[in-house]
Chains A and B, each alone.
Chain A
Amino acid sequence: MSAPKPPGWARTLLRWLHPANTLEEVEGDLDELYEYWYRRAGKTQAVFRYSLNVISVLPPFVKRRQRKTEYDQTFFLNPDMLSNYFKIAWRNMLRQKAYSALNIAGLSIGMACSILILLWVRNELSYDRFHTNADQLFRLTCNAGDFKAAVSPAGMAAGLQSQMPQIESSVRISKPVTSLFEVGEKKFEEKRVIFADSNFLRVFSFPLVKGDVRTALNNPDALLVTEETARKYYGDQDPIGKIIRRNNQENFTIAGVLANTPSNSHLQFDFVIPMSNLARFDNDLKTATWGNFNFYTYFQLNKNVNTSDLGLNALSKQIYKLFKAHGSEMKVDFHLQPLTAIHLHSDLQIDLPGHGNMQYVNIFFVVAIFILVVACINFMNLATARSERRAKEVGLRKVVGAGRYQLIVQFLGESLIFSFLSLLIAIVIVYMLLPVFQMLTEKELAIQLLDGKLLLSLVGIAILTGLVSGSYPALFLSGFAPVKVLKGKMRVAGANLLFRNGLVITQFVVAIILLIGTAVVYKQLNFIKNRNLGFDKSNLLYLSMSGELWNKKQALKTALGENALTENFSIISQLPTAITSGTVDLEWEGQVARNEIVVPSLDVDENFVKVFKTKLLAGRGFSRDFSGDTANYVINERAMQIMGMNAGNAVGKSISFSESKGTIIGVVKDFNFKSLQHAVEPLILRLNRWGGVVIVRTRGGANEATIGKLGEISRQLNPAYPFTYGFLDKDLDNLYRSEQQMGNIFNLFAGLAIFISCLGLYGLSAFMAEQRKKEIGVRKVLGATVSGVVALLSQGFLKLILIAILLATPIAWYAMDRWLADFAYQTTIDWWVFVLAGLIAATIALVTVSFQSIRAALMNPVKSLQGD
């Protein structure tokens, strides 16, 4: 029998009105019941009860089943959600164009700065690491008391190697010499020429482009050139086997071509000549002396030698013992300096030029981080200040089921989008700024995006920036209570004001510290440049004697003396800026203990005092009127003090310097002949019997003519050599190149830090002005003046700047005091530096804020109050 059917109309009603999610079961149940009733009570009764029961499961009587289990929260990394995040982020970015631009500008400039600095730091740290054996290479350095030098005697390399099994091989390199090279018509004076032992290329990894590494430096009459130099002399021709003439007297064949010296090598050279060539006439090499410190010695230690500080100390002690055992009475300590530490950690005299300074690397690294922080703070500040705009979104997301973590991820993701966008722009900025930066740092820097490490660190910077700058806004925004936010009565601005103010203060503390730093660096540089050195450094033109000039000294003197432009001249052995010789061998009357201070010496002629305009404290200078001056000495004040004499009794005393006895005939006032990082050292002046450098005191304004005249004389007497000249004050300025660079870089980054801070400040003030639009309207209606309103809006920011100045002053003072401690002669850190930096910061901040505050103050109150 087929089951009875319930009335169709009731069923239609049921289907139409009953909640869909329970319809199936209810319909089935009612069918079953209908059948049951039909059997028990008949059709009429069944239809009646069926209709009644259908009504009982229709609204409003029926209870709806909650769809609890079937409805999961969407996974927050669901592709739909992700695309939604991107969409929302993009819309927000577009809707608030000005703020997005501010944010991205700040972040990208900050990142560009950091990238530039990181490139520089990376370059500094990469010095000499390209050598295959970099970890095993050490340089032998020495120190006698406070005098530390990078040089060592010629005989020690072989001597130590034969007695110390730890040393695998040793290489000696000469100080760079200047030579004239000649190929056919081409003739250049080359400054980067070194002599090196034959295993030079096996110990160091300077790649040889052409030639045989094993034999390249074996033939004393063959030399190596770098690619660039080869091109200079031979163009595109193959240079191997060609002849090159040195110093107009000696012919070499070219045995090989080296790759150009990497810019991150402390050894810089264009020519390498075998040491065996120099050994033909160099006395140090002939006698394998242990006494004269004239060469750079490098050791390659065995792989299993302990090269920790302890291990190296033990080696140094062993070297010292061997040195004593060799019969030397000099009190000299030796050290093994790791090759990779030479560039950044060396503070030695008589060293190769162009060293860096670890302190600067650290300082700039910190500066890079600071600037990035300033940029991040911008982002945080603007994001939180404007959080009200996003509050509704947060509320709505929470209502439809977003959890807090989901929101945090969303906002962090948004800031990551910003930071990666900024990274792209930053890379473009870096490309544009790189030439300028290279000029400032005088370094070859390149940004190679294909370099995995660099790319990784760039992405790292972007992620770090994104996470840091997004962290606070994300935590802050995701914490909104949906009910409060959606009611629209929430005042977000006040809640985090303290935090935001803290951020602004931090930004300006950084900016002001950088400003003060710049000011102090420049002040110190100025101080050094304008300091009275003890002689008049301006208008001193010099010509180094070369070639035939040595033999034609008398003719030279006559020629110089005949001309009014050049008659005020002096011939000295070395430029005062380049004194690299010295000895501890000094004895005097009444000496108590052996002298242990290295005393440099300078050979000067009779005109020295007059030409250099130094002052005589006692006695006289060298003079033609007195015979026998060749055995006399002029000393400086410091040397006089060391020997325990005074201006009254020094003259006439006899001393023995460098094993020759003589009498002191005069004392000159101290003059600085080295970088002002060092205090004045003792100096012994001897009568110049051979030559060296011609120094001419030019008359002010006649520089060009004097150079012309000097050139004429040089060409006449020394036609084989090109005429090269220099000015002493320029050389002196060059001694402070790294300080000058630091000043320039500091200046650049201080400016950028302020600029970034101001971007943020501009955004904040715009936001404030907008928020207080109504308030300003009411104030104006009640009679406030424009200036009053501007003052009202500005004073809040001004307060923050003042706090920043107060915080920054002691920090900057401390930091700069530490920096100055490196100089023997320091400028003072005056109070006006702080005031000036503070004033500049405050002025710039006020100007920034005033854009917005003046606009707000000028606004017609009718407009701003219209809305309500």
Chain B
Amino acid sequence: MRRTYLGEFEELVLLMIAILDGQAYGVTVSQEIEQHTGRLVTFGAVHNTLIRLEEKGFVKSELGGATTERGGRRKRLFKVTALGSTALRDIQQLRNKLWQMMPESALKVSGI
């Protein structure tokens, strides 16, 4: 099967969903990104990415139950699918392999 391309931001969002473990939805994901990376992202970017990840089959979502919070509006909660977790692991492995292949001196700033 052709490996679906996973963009940098998509990977970040996917990791956050995995970290949040069942509590991931638009708000938590954008807050976590802000907290852990310091990046200020628009909600639209997060929203679109979540939808795209779902289309690609890395996450699945369902609407949570209604609560008294937020005026009774339901949240859409995201979970990583099996395909999503394989994709994350594959990326991790690839990175590890590539790091190991790298010569010691490669990252040293020359001349120092």
Listed in ascending order, the chain A residues whose CB lies under 8 Å from chain B are: 22, 24-33, 36, 52-53, 55-58, 61-66
User: Contact flags (1/0) for B17-55 with A, using CB distance below 8 Å?
Assistant: 000000001110011000000000011110110011011
Residues in B with CB closer than 8 Å to A56 are 42-45, 47
> Within the complex, which residue of A28, A52, A58 is in contact with B73, where a contact is CB–CB below 8 Å?
A28
Asked if B51 and A29 make an inter-chain contact with CB atoms under 8 angstroms apart, the answer reads no
> Is the Cβ of A28 less than 8 Å from the Cβ of B74?
yes
Closest Cβ neighbor of B54 among chain A residues = A65
Residues of B close to A63: CB separation below 8 A: 47-48, 51-52
Check if B27 sits within 8 Å of A24, measured CB to CB. no
Contacts A63-B52, A66-B55 given; does A57 touch B44 at CB 8 Å: yes
Q: Tell me whether chain B's interface is mostly helix, strand or loop, or mixed.
A: helix
Q: Which segment, of B63-71, B80-88, B89-97, B101-109, faces chain A?
A: B63-71
18 additional A-B pairs beyond A24-B74, A29-B26, A63-B52, beta carbons within 8 Å, are: A24-B73, A25-B25, A25-B75, A26-B26, A26-B47, A27-B73, A28-B71, A28-B73, A29-B47, A31-B73, A52-B42, A53-B44, A56-B42, A56-B44, A61-B44, A62-B48, A63-B47, A63-B51
- Chain B residues near A31: list those with CB within 8 A: 70-71, 73
- Chain A residues within an 8 Å CB radius of B26: 25-26, 29
CB-based contact B63/A25 at 8 Å: yes
Closest B residue by C-beta to A64: B51
Q: Can you give 17 contacting A-B residue pairs, CB < 8 Å?
A: A22-B47, A22-B51, A24-B73, A25-B25, A26-B47, A28-B70, A29-B26, A31-B71, A32-B69, A53-B42, A56-B43, A58-B44, A61-B44, A61-B48, A63-B47, A63-B51, A64-B51
**Is A57 touching B51 in the complex (CB atoms < 8 A)?**
no
A64-B74 Cα distance, complex, nearest whole Å: 18
Would you call B43 and A25 a contact (CB within 8 A)? no
Min CB distance A27 to B, Å, is: 6
- Residue of A29, A57, A65 touching B27 (CB-CB under 8 A): A29
Q: Please, which residue of chain A has its CB at the minimum distance from the CB of B69?
A: A32
Instruction: Name the B residues within 8 Å of A24 (CB-CB).
Output: 63, 73-74
Q: How far is the CA of A65 from the CA of B50 in the complex (A)?
A: 10
| CA gap between A58 and B47 in the complex, in Å | 11
Number of B positions contacting A (CB below 8 A) = 23
- Whether A25 touches B48, Cβ cut-off 8 Å, given contacts A32-B69, A56-B42, is no
User: CB-CB < 8 A to B30: which residues of A?
Assistant: 33
- A680 CA to B96 CA, complexed, in Å: 108
Which residues of chain A come closer than 8 Å to B42, judged between CB atoms? 52-53, 56
CB distance from A396 to the nearest CB of B (A): 27
A496 to B26, CA, bound (A): 57
Chain B hits for A57, CB < 8 A: 43-44, 47
Q: Which B residues touch A25, using CB under 8 A? A: 25-26, 63, 73-76
Q: By CB atoms of chain A within 10 A, which of B31, B47, B69 has the most?
A: B47
In the assembled complex, the CB of B19 is this many whole angstroms from the nearest CB of chain A, namely 18
List chain B residues, Cβ under 8 A from A33. Answer: 27, 30, 43
Beta-carbon nearest neighbor of A24 in chain B: B73
State how many angstroms separate the Cβ of A679 from the closest Cβ of chain B: 83
Closest Cβ neighbor of A55 among chain B residues: B44
CA distance A26 to B45 in the complex (A): 12
Chain B residues whose C-beta falls within 8 Å of the C-beta of A36 in the assembled complex: 27, 31
Shortest distance in angstroms between A776's beta carbon and chain B's nearest beta carbon?
54
Tell me, rounded to whole Å, the shortest Cβ–Cβ distance linking A54 to chain B: 8
Please give the distance in Å from B57's CB to the nearest CB on chain A.
11
- State in angstroms the CA–CA spacing of A220 and B52 once bound together: 106
Specify which of A27, A62, A64, A65 is in contact with B44 (CB 8 Å cutoff): A62
B27 CB → nearest A CB, Å:
5
Query: A32–B27 contact, CB under 8 A?
Result: yes
A30 to chain B, nearest CB (A): 6
Bound CA–CA A26/B54 (angstroms): 16
In the assembled complex, how far is the CB of residue A68 from the closest CB belonging to chain B, in whole angstroms? 8
Question: B51 contacts A65, CB within 8 Å?
Answer: yes
A33 to B42 alpha-carbon distance, docked (Å): 11
A196 to B69, CA, bound (A): 105
How far is A26 from B75 in the complex, measured between Cα atoms in Å? 8
Bound-state Cα–Cα, A590 to B27, Å = 128
Q: Does the CB pair B25–A29 fall under 8 Å?
A: yes
Complex contacts, A53 vs chain B, CB 8 Å: 42-44
Chain A residue, CB-CB nearest to B45: A56
Bound-complex Cα distance A62 to B31 (A): 19
Q: What residue in chain B is nearest A32 (Cβ atoms)?
A: B27
CA distance A169 to B89 in the complex (A): 94
> Hey, which chain A residues are within 8 Å of B76, CB to CB?
22, 25
Cβ of A26: which chain B residues have Cβ within 8 Å of it?
Answer: 26, 43, 47
Residues of A within 8 A of B52 (CB): 63
Complex Cα–Cα for A52 and B47 (A): 14
Taking the closest CB of chain A, its distance from the CB of B80, in whole angstroms, is: 18
Given A36-B27, A36-B31, A65-B51; A29-B71 close (CB under 8 Å): no
9 nearest CB pairs, A to B: A56-B44, A28-B73, A29-B26, A56-B42, A63-B48, A53-B43, A28-B70, A25-B76, A57-B44
Residues of chain B contacted by A32 (CB below 8 angstroms): 27, 69-70
| Residues of the A chain whose Cβ atoms lie less than 8 Å from the Cβ of B45 | 56
Q: Chain B contacts of A27 at CB under 8 A?
A: 73
Cβ distance A554 to chain B, nearest Cβ, rounded Å: 116
Query: Could you tell me the distance between the alpha carbons of A66 and B76 in the complex, rounded to whole angstroms?
Result: 15
CB <8 Å contact, A62 and B47: yes
Measured in the bound complex, the distance between the Cα atoms of B69 and A29 in whole Å is: 11
Contacts of B43 in A (CB 8 A): 26, 29-30, 33, 53, 56-57
Bound CA span A63–B45, Å: 9
* A-side contacts of B54, CB under 8 Å: 65
CA–CA, A22 to B44, complex, Å? 12
Query: How many angstroms from the CA of A271 to the CA of B34 in the assembled complex?
Result: 114
- A47 and B72 CA atoms in complex are apart in Å by 22
Considering the chains assembled together, what is the distance between the CA atoms of A33 and B54 in angstroms?
A: 22
Instruction: Report the bound CA distance from A31 to B76 in whole Å.
Output: 14
A66 to chain B, nearest CB (A): 7
Bound form: Cα–Cα A55–B45 in Å: 11
CB nearest neighbor in B for A63: B48
Distance of B87 from chain A, by nearest CB (Å): 20
A56 to B41, CA, bound (A): 10
Question: In whole angstroms, how far apart are the Cα atoms of A65 and B76 in the complex?
Answer: 12
Determine the residue in chain A with the shortest Cβ distance to B60. Answer: A69
A62, B74: Cα distance in complex, Å: 19
**How close is B39's CB to chain A, nearest CB, in angstroms?**
14
A25 nearest CB neighbor, chain B only:
B76
A36 CA / B74 CA spacing, docked (Å): 18
Measured in the bound complex, the distance between the Cα atoms of B48 and A66 in whole Å is 12
Separation in Å of the A843 CB from the closest CB of chain B? Answer: 66
User: Smallest CB–CB gap between A45 and chain B, Å?
Assistant: 12
Complex Cα spacing A65 to B63, Å: 13
A842 to B45 CA separation, bound complex (whole angstroms)? 77
Kindly list chain B residues whose C-beta atoms are within 8 Å of the C-beta of A30. Answer: 43
Residues of B within 8 A of A62 (CB): 44, 47-48
Q: List chain A residues, Cβ under 8 A from B70.
A: 28, 31-32
Complex interface: chain B residues within 8 A of A28 (CB): 70-71, 73-75
Contact at A29–B44, with CB atoms within 8 Å? no
Complex Cα distance, B61 from A25, in Å, reads 12
Docked Cα-Cα span, A763 to B47, in Å, equals 61
Q: Considering only CB atoms, which chain A residue lies closest to B49 in the complex?
A: A63
Residues of A within 8 A of B31 (CB): 36
Bound form: Cα–Cα A36–B31 in Å: 9
Instruction: For the complex formed, measure the closest distance between the CB of B7 and the CB atoms of chain A, giving whole angstroms.
Output: 13
Q: Which residue of B lies closest to A62 (CB)?
A: B44
A639 to chain B, nearest CB (A): 96
Q: Which of A29, A63, A64 has the most CB of B within 10 A?
A: A29
